[in-house]
Structure 1
Amino acid sequence: MTAPNDVFTAAKLGPITLRNRVIKAATFEASTPNALVTDDLITYHRLPAAGGVGMTTVAYLAVSPGGRTEGNQIYWRPEAIPGLRRLTASIHTEGAAISAQIGHAGPVANARSNKATALAPVRFFNPLSMRFARHATRDDIDDVMAAHAAAARYAIDAGFDAVEVHLGHNYFASSFLSPLINRRTDEFGGSLANRAKVARGTVLAVRRAVEKAGTPIAVTAKLNMADGVRGGISTEEALQTAKWLEEDGGLDAIELTAGSSLVNPMYLFRGDVPIKEFAGSFKPPLRWGIRMTGTKFLREYPYREAYLLRDAKLFRAELSMPLILLGGITNRQTMDLAMAEGFDFVAMGRALLAEPDLLNRIQADGDAVKSVCTHCNQCMATIYSHTHCVVTGAPDTVTPGV
């Protein structure tokens, strides 16, 4: 038996080397009011980079205007590249790597805010935008795959070290994987092999683009282990999809996630359910609707450390490729547990939002350091204005690295 990896040692991720095995997970920043990089966005990522993470992940960089979850998000285009170069340079100055999460929101896209038609496996109504997503044709699917390849080329040009292909949360590729949403009867519907074609084709399109560019960046993916709803993506089907992705050879690692932005987001965000705060982010009548029916959409799941570990261990047992454990990673003991269970990296979200310098403190003081994150999840409601922790506020400094 080999000794578990030390989470604070350098590690290879495909062709790149991270200074440690901790990744800041993609959490939408709400810092791009004109769909372009701002100083605020740079600060948002510079703080955890200075705070010790091995890599930070920018969320969410859409592959097309209609692929955004809302109209202020950055989408890949020449106009966005200078700002993204400033962002990557700032992170590199802090000694960390930076990944671009790329994807198409599919039925999650806010067609009203984007002023562009949303796409889905079948015609689908999004209650947040009060608009229908259009049934995606074969040409639409091909265009989305090609847009992912173009996004990878843009990411290389902008100085990113990695791209994370979004295959989760019932976004475009994930909605095709879901038997609940994907009721198609053509080559992209029915069997899992058919429903997985979009995810597999998208990853391979990105891999080919990266190889053709000749610049060594890592390619990872965020993949749902389960949607958390009856009839949605099951763990068994997700594991088979992961095996196909491994066989295809397009990925350097998979980040394992869960939940559906459409029907069950709290399956990923365990802890308190901020219905009042979430409703307050919208105008009537949607605000009233969320207050009255919010418990059906925002279901409550108790928080515990490493809450996705049980399902993730099923993937670790069947796959040989590097895996990134997400969900309830807040202290040194849980990081060490992840390493002992054979995971190659851990990803942190809310804990770093509360304390960008948490990694520096853990590395300095080990088990004595406990995260101040209370898992109140009120940060969820801030993604419509400016994402921040309501417990600690918005810190603008971090403690020096160790």
Structure 2
Amino acid sequence: MTDVFAPTTLGPLTLRNRVIKAATFEGRTPDALVTDDLIEFHREVAAGGVAMTTVAYCAVAPGGRTDRHQIYMRPEAVPGLRRLTDAVHAEGAAASAQIGHAGPVANAASNRVPAVAPSRFFSPLGMAPMKVPAIGEIGELVAAHAEAAKLAVESGFDAVEIHFGHNYLASSFLSPILNRRKDVYGGSLENRARFAREIARAVREAVGDRVAVTAKLNMEDGIRGGFTLPESLQVAAWLEADDALDALELTAGSSLLNPMLLFHGAAPRREFAKTLPAPTRWGFRMVGKAFLREYPYEKAYLLERARQFRRELSMPLVLLGGITDLESMQLAMAEGFDFVAMGRALLREPDLLRRIQSDAATESACVHCNECMPTIYSRTRCVLRLDPPRPLSADHTN
């Protein structure tokens, strides 16, 4: 069996093991720039033993953020990002920047620019119609991804992860329920996949072999009429044939319509409602059960979907979802996956991987309550962890 703790390669990188810290928005950038708190978050995870930690979320444009406190890639962000990557490297780990555009998931009211979607929809966050990009503007969005990747290289990142999941912009183009265009970017699956494929090729051309290039791809949206698993298998095959990516991280769910398909476990509806302003909170109480569905938690809960990709693809794959102990890691290796990604378990215990290496019987303390999810609006954290929250800005939730 492949040893999850043995050194391995990812594109041009040599990594100390096969465990990646998944991208989870940290909520520690009140001015859309790196803070000491964000650096410490990733330094601590790196010191905890992961091979690579992923910084989320590095938007390719100001309007591509889920709110205006997130980092967007521009020259002013580079010095802080360089300090972050230096801190991660000092702990022996690599650093990846997740780049992308939130599209219909963007908070237009917070960003103060319209949200973008492949077709015309009303934005409940912006309380206004979303902007539909013309073909020329789509080209500008592709170029923005390439420029963001160049800035990531300048910032010292070892990898970039392109966000093709969760109905962010590229993912929304893949979804037939969200993409009703009649031009070359809509209709057939090949047309709907055109935007994602153009982004991957543009990013690879921009960075060459200086860093690894990966993508987070939805296996399905989990909504009727959305992007399906058979469609995703075909898109993954096209991405593999394009030869622009070093690996795919497989995910599922829609931040717009069904976020819990990614997380599994308890649905923190009451906690989410508390983070919302009064009018939205009242509406959420009416639709919260339909929006935050409940999926029972089990180890490696995305494996059944993901193993179909492993059967049909030869490129490296990253298994995400319910990876919390040595047993689930070894299961992923036995199934032929090249890497595993961990998220919530590392919020609870940043040193979990070191502890597993010391004692193979170590179990994660994460109870999958998912109450960490609403904390993205203040400072992302495990609410059961003993160290207290330190909000960075009084208006951080605005």
What is the correspondence of 1:3-402 to structure 2 with a 5 Å cutoff? 4-211=1-208, 216-366=210-360, 368-394=361-387
Per-residue deviation, 1:8:
0.4
2:272 alignment partner AA? F
In structure 2, what residue type is equivalent to 1:167? Answer: F
- Give the structure 2 partner of residue 399 of structure 1: none
CA change 1:7–1:82 in 2 (3 A) is same
Task: Give SS of 1:59's match.
Answer: strand
What are the Cα deviations for residues 314-373 of structure 1, in whole angstroms up to 9, with x where unaligned? 00000000000000000000000000000000000000011000000000001x200010
1:63-84 CA-to-partner distances (Å, cap 9, x unmatched) read 0001111100000111110000
Instruction: Indicate conservation of the 8 Å contact 2:173/2:179, yes or no.
Output: yes
CA contact (8 A) 1:388 1:394 kept: no
| Aligned-partner SS, 2:263 | coil
Segments of structure 1 that go 5 or more residues without pairing to the other structure are 397-402
Shift of 1:130: 2.3
SS in 2 for 1:144: helix
The answer (yes or no) to whether the contact 1:117–1:133 under 8 Å persists in 2 is yes
State the distance in 2 between where 1:330 and 1:125 align.
Answer: 38
CA distance in 2 between counterparts of 1:75 and 1:282 reads: 24
Task: Please give the alpha-carbon distance, in whole angstroms, between the structure 2 residues aligned to 1:109 and 1:236.
Answer: 27
Contact 2:109–2:125, Cα closer than 8 Å, also in 1:
no
Aligned-pair CA distance for 1:112: 1.0
Q: Deviations over 1:195-226 (max 9, x none)?
A: 00000000000000012xxx620000000001
SS in 2 for 1:147: helix
Count of residues paired in the alignment: 389
**Contact 1:326/1:346 (<8 A) preserved:** yes
Q: Give me the CA root mean square deviation.
A: 1.0
What SS class does the counterpart of residue 87 from structure 1 fall into? Answer: helix
Deviation at 1:258, TM superposition (A): 0.2
SS in 2 for 1:6: coil
Distance 2:205 2:386 in 1: 42
Distance 1:319 1:216 in 2: 24
> Greater shift after overlay, 354-363 or 285-294?
285-294
In structure 2, give the amino acid aligned to 1:228: G
User: What is the rounded CA distance, in whole Å, between the counterparts of 2:12 and 2:25 in structure 1?
Assistant: 26
Larger deviation: 167-176 or 129-138?
129-138
Q: Secondary structure at the match of 1:134?
A: coil
Amino acid at match of 2:256: L
Paired residue type of 1:250: A
For the residues of structure 2 that align with 1:283 and 1:117, how far apart are their CA atoms?
Answer: 20
Paired residue secondary structure (2:37): helix
Checking the alignment, whether the CA contact within 8 Å between 2:43 and 2:87 is kept in structure 1 is yes
Contact 2:115 2:126 in 1 (8 A): no
Displacement after TM superposition at 1:98 (Å): 0.3
Which stretches of structure 1, 4 residues or more, deviate above 3 A after TM superposition?
393-396
Between the aligned partners of 1:394 and 1:270, the Cα distance in structure 2 is 25
Secondary structure in 1 matching 2:26: coil
Contact kept? 1:170, 1:260, Cα under 8 Å:
yes
| CA contact 1:102–1:165 (8 Å) conserved in 2 | yes
More moved, 240-249 vs 116-125? 116-125
**Cα distance, 1:393 vs. partner?**
3.7
Judge conservation of contact 1:22–1:53 (CA < 8 Å) in 2.
Answer: yes
Equivalent position amino acid for 1:92 in 2: H
User: Cα distance, 1:111 vs. partner?
Assistant: 1.0
Which residue identity is paired with 1:219? V
* Deviation, structure 1 residue 187: 0.8
Q: Give the distance between the partners of 2:125 and 2:374, measured in 1 at CA.
A: 14
Code of the aligned partner of 2:66: T
Shift of 1:276: 0.5
1:230-273 CA deviation, whole Å, 9 max, x = no partner?
Answer: 11010000000000000000000000000001000001010001
One-letter amino acid of the counterpart of residue 382, structure 2: C
Write the letter of the residue equivalent to 2:9: K
Question: What residue in structure 2 maps to residue 400 of structure 1?
Answer: none
Q: CA deviation at 1:395?
A: 8.0
TM-score, with length taken from structure 1: 0.95
Query: Percent of counterpart pairs with the same letter?
Result: 65
Contact 2:174 2:227 (8 Å CA) reproduced: yes
